[in-house]
Structure 1
Amino acid sequence: MTKKPLILITNDDGISAPGIRALIEVMKQLGEVVVVAPDSPQSAMGHAITINNTLFINKVNFDSEVKEEYSCSGTPVDCVKLAVNEILKQKPDLCVSGVNHGSNSSINVIYSGTMSAAVEAGIEGIPAIGFSLLDYNWNADFEPVKNAIKTIASQVLENGLPEGVILNVNFPKLKEDEIKGIKVCRQAKAFWKEEFDKRKTPQGKDYYWLTGEFINQDNGEDTDEWALANGFISIVPVQFDLTAHHAIQKLNTYKFN
């Protein structure tokens, strides 16, 4: 009998979020599942780790078919670190993060706790995928993307990933029969034009709410933003090696020494 793959599941919306519960439902069909996720929402935490506070993990039992589930007081990256170093007795065959409530396409990838958890798994040498749905509603419908999640995860389990590569997968908010397919893309060149809404407390103290507008500067038809706008699921291979290799030759012409 073939041994089932071990799959680590995490997210940034919290262990009780509908997105992670949907992801668990799919992954149970593919392997033995262990869940380690934040005990409260940790969106936009990026690759933050906890170094000045204690960390706690609590065993929970939301799903009797899951091998083990733990809530963690820390960030998504803390969850992966604790899973690999303290909870799991062997390295998982796959780590999946999400399904995030909201987009992690384009520049959003660098702010994302969902993707940072997947990247941390990649650093540990674990094939990893971050999944996100373009719907910020807590009660978002994840049914239309479950088959695609299963397909993508199955392919990674079967074929692996290139060394140092993590998949950033985003789903358009569409019915399953409206999704045109899956495209492997590059990250669109875009940014947030940010503003701060300045207000005052009843005591007269200034405080701020971050607001902003997403600006897509990229007209390419090979980007994640184009794919999503045109009804496709986007897959962007990302890496944790941030070296700008194309700039090395130019910088070597500078008179640093």
Structure 2
Amino acid sequence: MKKQHSRPNILVVNDDGITAPGIKNLIEAVKELGNVVVVAPDGPQSGMGHAITIGKPMRFNKVDLYEGVEMYKCSGTPVDCVKLAVNKIFKGKKPDLCVSGINHGLNNSINVIYSGTMSAAVEGAIEGIPSIGFSLDDYAEEADFSHCLKYVKSIAQQVLDNGLPQATLLNVNFPKGNGIKGIKICRQANAKWAEEFDERQDPYGRPYYWLTGVFQNNDKGEDTDVWALDHGYVSVVPVQFDLTAHHAIPLLNSWTFND
């Protein structure tokens, strides 16, 4: 069991940008738990997944947005923010916790693959830092995060007190509204986006496309993140970044390959 004997250092990141309301609320939720350092993109980076900046320079500047909080804005991706924080701010001495969000919009089910919020948390876990991604089922700029904060603080405190299994992080999603019934530990639902591309024409008659789609849940289980959120619970899914399909290895070993 991991015990903190001094005030822990907490890295706060996001993908909606350093001025997003979600990160302000995340800072408020965790600042009593430790020394907060914020590194966030200088603008929205939603849907960036685990992208990193290669082949062009990044800007990394200190800013003063919230009193008593050390903050930096970065021209790169959410994952870049974590990498820069570890290397340039903490200088290899890892923070005790990395929290990402609070994202405007859910990152449940397959969304975890595309999410910049969750990829920042994954990068934290790759660096050996206990990490959590937080998201809310509300895309509005004026979204109300107030009902999330006590759960953010409680979950973050549990991770600080107990640590997480190696190579594991948490994906936490909040339903919209004040009627939260509690927390459910879940698995990721088997759900996906049925995507379409809306074709339009610019003033010169050239086609361009908007990505649209409908979220389809093919999983009827009552132990999934989709079910929990639909029924008013906070969903907490343990996530790993080892993408090996271990159950498929015996099948592949049964195949005959030509040398």
Partner of 1:37: 40
Task: Give the counterpart letter for 2:220 in structure 1.
Answer: N
Q: Work out which of the residue numbers 77, 80, 98 in structure 2 matches 1:78.
A: 80
In 2, the alpha carbon distance for the partners of 1:135 and 1:74 equals 25
Please list every run of 5 or more consecutive structure 2 residues that lacks an aligned counterpart in the other structure. Answer: none
Q: Following TM superposition, by how much is the alpha carbon of 1:3 offset from its aligned partner in structure 2, in angstroms?
A: 2.3
Q: Following TM superposition, by how much is the alpha carbon of 1:204 offset from its aligned partner in structure 2, in angstroms?
A: 1.2
Q: 2:110 is paired with a residue of what secondary structure?
A: helix
Q: 1:9 is paired with a residue of what secondary structure?
A: strand
1:124 aligns with 2:127: yes
Q: Following TM superposition, by how much is the alpha carbon of 1:109 offset from its aligned partner in structure 2, in angstroms?
A: 0.3
Q: Following TM superposition, by how much is the alpha carbon of 1:240 offset from its aligned partner in structure 2, in angstroms?
A: 0.5
Question: CA-to-partner distance for each residue in 1:152-208, whole Å, 9 max, x for gaps?
Answer: 000000000000001000000020xx2111011000001110000001110111100
1:64 aligns with 2:62: no
Q: CA RMSD in A?
A: 0.7
Q: 1:106 is paired with a residue of what secondary structure?
A: coil
Question: CA-to-partner distance for each residue in 1:89-140, whole Å, 9 max, x for gaps?
Answer: 4210000000000000000000000000000000000000000000000110
In 1, the alpha carbon distance for the partners of 2:32 and 2:23 equals 15
Task: Give the counterpart letter for 2:20 in structure 1.
Answer: A
In 1, the alpha carbon distance for the partners of 2:208 and 2:180 equals 42
1:174 aligns with 2:164: no
In 2, the alpha carbon distance for the partners of 1:172 and 1:110 equals 20
Q: Following TM superposition, by how much is the alpha carbon of 1:253 offset from its aligned partner in structure 2, in angstroms?
A: 0.6
Matches within 5 A, 1:1-20: 3-20=6-23
In 1, the alpha carbon distance for the partners of 2:38 and 2:129 equals 15
1:137 aligns with 2:140: yes
Task: Give the counterpart letter for 2:125 in structure 1.
Answer: G
Q: 2:28 is paired with a residue of what secondary structure?
A: helix
Matches within 5 A, 1:242-257: 242-257=243-258
TM-score (norm 1): 0.97
Question: CA-to-partner distance for each residue in 1:27-74, whole Å, 9 max, x for gaps?
Answer: 1110000000000000000000000211110100111211x2000000
Displaced runs of 4 or more, over 3 A: none
Matches within 5 A, 1:69-218: 69-89=71-91, 90-175=93-178, 178-218=179-219
In 1, the alpha carbon distance for the partners of 2:257 and 2:160 equals 46
Identical aligned pairs, as a percentage? 67
In 2, the alpha carbon distance for the partners of 1:134 and 1:82 equals 29
Q: Following TM superposition, by how much is the alpha carbon of 1:11 offset from its aligned partner in structure 2, in angstroms?
A: 0.2
Partner of 2:232: 231
TM-score (norm 2): 0.96
Count of aligned pairs = 253
